[in-house]
Amino acid sequence: MATLREVKKRIRTVISTQRITRAMEMVAAAKLRRAQQRIEQARPYAQKMDEMLSHLAAGSTGEIIHPYFEQREIKKRTLVVVTSDRGFCGSFNSNIIRRTGQWLGENDTVEQEFVTIGKKGNDFFKRRPTPITRYWGDWGGTLDYDRAKEIVSFLTNRFVSGETDQISIVYTRFVSMARYKVIMQDYLPIPPPEIPEDPNAGEQMATEYIFEPDAEQIYAALMPGYATTKMVTALADSFASEHGSRMIAMNAATTNAGDMIQSLTLDYNKARQAQITKELLEVVSGAEALKG
């Protein structure tokens, strides 16, 4: 049985750990609120971009001509893996890594490569045979628009130059404070926009657009912003999910630390009572010996 000093030392250690986990939970909650605001700002813009692209597709005649739409034989696939830089966020990173492993198995007939965003994913996959073409880390759980544009520029240049034939992103989409979903999303080539339909008649919308100067130049101006919006939205979702997962994980750790403190306190009281009983027995035994 542990001595009183050992039990007391363990109690102090768990109390210190509980303070740390509580502080980390509060920090994650504060960062989550800011990340939610970014999502609320990014998602409507992304939806409008999709809507605009669909309307332009409905009003244009002939095939949409832009390098981002180019469908070609897939000889090489690129996967952008978005994880966190830090741990203590439950199953956030392991879910992404597991889904990435499934992607590797599904696409083992073609050449594969990774682009990693976040230290945890990079540390895991750099010891695996699939090569990592580029790595971006040290985000601190905060969206950096300049770095997001740098990622978009690297990916689009790689696709347009023919160094890769398809690019996908795996990330965690923020649904609610307690719910997150791992998403595998095609990034390039962009699938042809869906032509909107009239929900009542079920026929294609008859809206006609006059393109000035022409559709090709409009798409050339629009598509870089569209690609950036897709990346920014994915990163914003991932960071919000990271903070939410960390908040839940630290809340569970704080609760477990409280339960452990109660259990150790009970053990301490039992050990202390046993020691007091032993000392009383020694005193009574000594007194009886003196009488005899």
pLDDT per position as a tens digit, 185-215: 999 988 766 555 555 544 444 456 666 777 6
Cα angle value 175/178/180 (rounded, 5°): 40
Closest CA to 121 of 93, 89, 86, 92: 93
Q: How many CB atoms lie within 10 A of CB 186?
A: 12
Terminal Cα-to-Cα distance of the chain (whole angstroms): 34
* Positions in the chain short of pLDDT 50: 201-206
Helices 4-59/215-291 angle, 10° precision: 170
Number of H helices, E strands in the chain: 5, 5
At 203 the pLDDT is: 45
At 6 the pLDDT is: 84
Is residue 278 exposed (0-12), middle (13-18) or buried (19+ Cβ within 10 Å)?
A: exposed
At 179 the pLDDT is: 87
At 201 the pLDDT is: 44
Using CA atoms, how far apart are residues 259 and 284, in angstroms rounded to an integer? 38
Burial 41-61 (b: 16+ CB within 10 A, else e): ebeeebeebeeebbbbbbbbe
At 41 the pLDDT is: 83
Please indicate, yes or no, whether the overall pTM of this predicted structure exceeds 0.85: no
Q: How many CB atoms lie within 10 A of CB 276?
A: 10
- All residues at 6 or more sequence positions from 226 whose CB lies less than 8 Å from its CB, including other chains: 49, 53, 68, 190
Catalytic residue flag (residue 74): no
The residues that bridge with 81 in the sheet, in sequence order, are 116, 170
At 274 the pLDDT is: 82
- For residue 180, the one-letter residue type is Y
At 12 the pLDDT is: 92
- Please identify which of the residues 89, 231, 236, 249 carries the catalytic annotation: 89
What domains does the chain contain, in order, with CATH numbers? 27-247 (3.40.1380.10)
